[in-house]
Every structure is written in C-alpha cells, then in structure tokens.
Structure 1
Amino acid sequence: MGKNLQSEVRLRPVDLAREHGLSTQAVRNYEEAGILPAAARTPHGYRTYTPLHAGALRAFLALLPGHGHPTATAIMRAVNDGTVDEAFRLIDESHAQLLDDRRTLRAVEDALRDLDREPTTPPERGGTFVGPLARRLGIRPATLRKWEEAGLVHPHRDPRTGYRVYDGAAVRDARLAHQLRRGGYPLERIAPLLAHVRTAGGLAPLEATLTDWQGRLSARGRALLTGAAELETYLRERDGDRPA
C-alpha cells in the first residue's frame, strides 16, 4: 500500500519548495547533488516528485544544523546510493566530534578553575625571566621555549641583554598552558584557545564565551537527535517503497 501511495502521488518542485520556504531551483539543485533521489520526468520533460522526495528533503534539512552542509549532503548521497553503512559512519563521526568538543570545553573549564585556586604571585617589575617562571610552574626552561615556538606564549626580549621577559599576560598564558598540558591537551590545540583568551582580553570575558560554547554544544547535540529522527523516517519510507 505504501509503495502504491508513493508511486501514485505526484508533486511538483514548487510543492516541495513551498513547505520549507525554498526556491524551486534549490530543490532542483538538491536533486542534482544527490540529496534527493532522481525525479521522474513527464513526456514534456518536467520533473515530478513523490512523498519519498519530500521525505528526503525534510531529512536533509533536519540534518543540516547538526552535521553541516558537506556532511549532511554526504549522508543523503550515501543513503540514496544504497550505502547506508557509509551514512551511519558519517553520523558516528559527527557524534565523535561533538564528544571531543565537549571534552575540550571541560578541559578549558578545569584549567580555569585550577588557575583560580592557584596562589598568584605578581611578576617582578618589568616582567619575569624564563628561569624564575619555569621554577614557579615546576617545569624546565626548555619547555617554556618550546611553548614559545608553538605560539603558546609570547615573551618579549630585554633590549639590553636579549633575555626573554614574560609580562603579566605572558605569565597568564604560561599558567593556562601548563594546566592544559597537565590535562593531556596537545600543543596544537592549546594555541587557538590562548589566542581566544588574548582576543577576549583575559580570562574573565572568557567565562561568557564558555557559557555560549556550552549552549552551542547542547544545541548541536539536540540537532543531531532531530536529524536522526527525520533520517530514520526517510529510511522507513524508502525501504517501504522498495519492491519485495
């Protein structure tokens, strides 16, 4: 019965487009990209769609917020090509990325809490040299130099001696890098976070950013669930439309 209904109902591009506020050209583009199954044609060459195509469009648009356009497109192409396991793999990758992002956020939050608990020693007038700062952090001077090469800290040079001098911002960056490294954070992931701290003007403005970050992760998690539900609906319609 489902198969007959799908095959008898005919929809125009405008019928699919109107439901989502899209242009008919967008619907045609989605079909050409493999997001929708290939449409049948009338004797005059006009596209005709079925409820199955409408379901594919709903699934794709539901996948977009959680997966992004490239991955959502790849998921629908895989489903329509009959390689559903590839679609599931892509979905798993998006969930794994979300989990990794949550762990990243937690590591940053833990590092900030650790910094708040640490007694702060104001840097010497004019800044702190590499040796005293390394001793304060319990690391080797070579480690600080390695962090500098990786872009984590930015000491300036004493114009008379050429020694590295760490001002208050550089000391803060070194302390935050130290906490993140203790948490197993790789250097290449720390540098962008510290750049964000500098852009925010310090740690205090970063708190609002972390709250916003958490909200966006939660929204993405919910979007993944919504996309999965619509895709499951489409898969059921698609499987029911297949001949036995």
Structure 2
Amino acid sequence: MRPVDLAREHGLSAQTVRNYDDAGVLPPTARGETGHRRYTPLHAQALRAFLALRRGHGHRQAVEIMRATHRGDTESAFRLLDAAHVALVAERATRAEVAAALGSLSTAPPTTPAGRPLTVGELARRLGVHPATVRTWEVAGILRPGRDRATGHREFGPECVRDAEIARQLRRGGHPLSRIARFVTALREAGGTEALSAFLDAWQDRLTARGRDLLAGAARFDAYLELPG
C-alpha cells in the first residue's frame, strides 16, 4: 500500500502518514526499488490504533505509546496507558470535591466586615492567597472591583468576594483562568444556580467522553498488539 492508501480511510494527507511513519507511530517500513514506502495491513492497523489512542491520550502521549511499542518496550507503553486512567480518576475526584465546595457556597453575595468593601490585602487574607493572586484574577476578568473615588484604590464588594471564593475553589480543581472567567461571567448572568449546574454537568460530560475515548483507544491498541509482527 502507498501512503495515500492509508491516509484515505481517515481523511488524512499522504504527507501526514509519512510524518507519522517518521515519528515512529508506524512499525518499520520497507521501501521498494524506487525508494517509495511500502505499507502493509499491519501499518494500517497501527495507524488505526494511534488515531484511537490520540482521542483519549492526546497527540504527544499517543505517539509515545506507539514509539515504545515499536521499540519493544511494551512496559513503558502500558505505564503511559495506566497513567492516563490514574489522571482521569484523580480528575473525577477533583470534580466531586469542587461540586461539594461550590454547592456549599451561596450564590448570593457574602457579607463583609462592617458591610464595607474589602481591600486587596483583606480579600487575600480572607481567601488565604497572595495579594498578587487577587490582582491576577482581576486581569483575567474574574473579578471586577470598584474604585475608591478619593484614593483610587480597589474595593472588593460582596459580589467580588463571592466570585473570588469560587475562583479559589476552581483553581484548586486545576481549571485555567480563562475557563474560570467564563464560568463567573455565566454565573453573574444566570443569577447563580443555573450556571453552577451547567458547569458541573459539562465537566461530567467531558470526563465521561474522555473515559470512553480511553476505553476505545485501549481496545484498538490491544487488537493491534494481537497481530503477528
């Protein structure tokens, strides 16, 4: 088979197949008298296994799994497979922790000392973070503090305090600032509970989809390993 024959099944270009070959995704390839690559059904199965693995593991890790396999180091390949499942279990636990933490947060603005806005330092102490972290969240669009008319200093009112507490929980869950900013914006627009529910449901859907992708990739990879080399 030619590179284009392998590529056609997956909507790839022939050059992409050659690149995968050079990267070690495919087993060693024979060449004809003219120097052209000659692929077999084994190469086709390797490509199918790689593309299935990539959905759950990502491109880089899927490449490493296939490389390890083709150099005879199946132990390393299985370690990479196992690590992805361990990471998924950890993320499931994190999602449960975030759900519990967010569920305990009132979507109504919390009270502040003496009913006045907090300074950057006061908010940082309340959250147990560095003041620079609070400023970073502001730059990312997570917090929208007011300004004291006389001094120009930032003032963090009850809604800012609520948003900061939510940001702290989500950062502990490993969420990037851009996603937290989108979530907090949705929370403001939805009035609270709807945004919380939608966020957690979407996270659960992503976990479920990744779990299925890992299973499908493992099944395709196992079928490839069963083939005679």
CA distance in 1, matches of 2:81, 2:113: 52
Match of 1:149 in 2: 132
Residue identity opposite 1:149 in structure 2: A
Conserved in 2, the CA contact under 8 Å of 1:156 and 1:164? yes
Matches within 5 A, 1:87-166: 87-116=77-106, 127-129=116-118, 142-144=125-127, 146-151=129-134, 158=148, 160=150, 165-166=155-156
Q: Which runs of 5+ in 1 are unaligned?
A: 1-10, 135-140
Matching residue of 1:197: 183
Q: 1:34–1:76: 8 Å Cα contact kept in structure 2?
A: yes
Between Structure 1 and Structure 2, whose CA radius of gyration is higher? Answer: 1
Structure 2 residue runs of 5 or longer lacking an equivalent are none
How much does 1:218 deviate? 0.5
Answering whether residue 216 of structure 2 is matched by residue 226 of structure 1, we say yes
For residue 34 of structure 2, give the secondary structure of its aligned residue in structure 1. coil
1-structure distance, mates of 2:15, 2:176 = 43
Aligned length: 215
In the alignment, which residue of structure 1 is the partner of 2:41?
51
| Distance in structure 1 (CA, Å) of the matches to 2:167 and 2:4 | 55
Once the two structures are TM-superposed, the CA of residue 125 in structure 1 deviates from its matched residue by 9.5
Shift in CA distance, 177/48, structure 1 to aligned 2, threshold 3 Å: closer
Q: Do the aligned partners of residues 42 and 169 (structure 1) sit closer, same or farther apart at CA in structure 2, a change above 3 Å counting? A: same
CA distance in 1 between partners of 2:222 and 2:163 (Å):
46
Residues 55 and 213, structure 2, Cα contact 8 Å, conserved in 1: yes
Which piece of structure 1 moves more, 120-129 or 228-237? Answer: 120-129
Deviation per CA, 1:186-240, whole angstroms, max 9, x where unpaired? 4x94783754433434344243232122111111100000000011111111xx3
1:217 aligns with 2:207: yes
Does structure 2 conserve the Cα–Cα contact (< 8 Å) formed by 1:177 and 1:190?
no
What root-mean-square deviation, in Å, do the aligned CA atoms of Structure 1 and Structure 2 show? Answer: 3.3
Q: Distance in 2 between matches of 1:119 and 1:15?
A: 60
| Residues 44-68 of structure 1, C-alpha deviations (whole Å, 9 max, x = no match) | 2221111111110010010111011
Percent sequence identity over aligned pairs = 45
Alignment TM-score, normalising by the size of structure 1: 0.73
Give the corresponding residue for 1:6.
Answer: none
- TM-score normalized with structure 2 length: 0.77
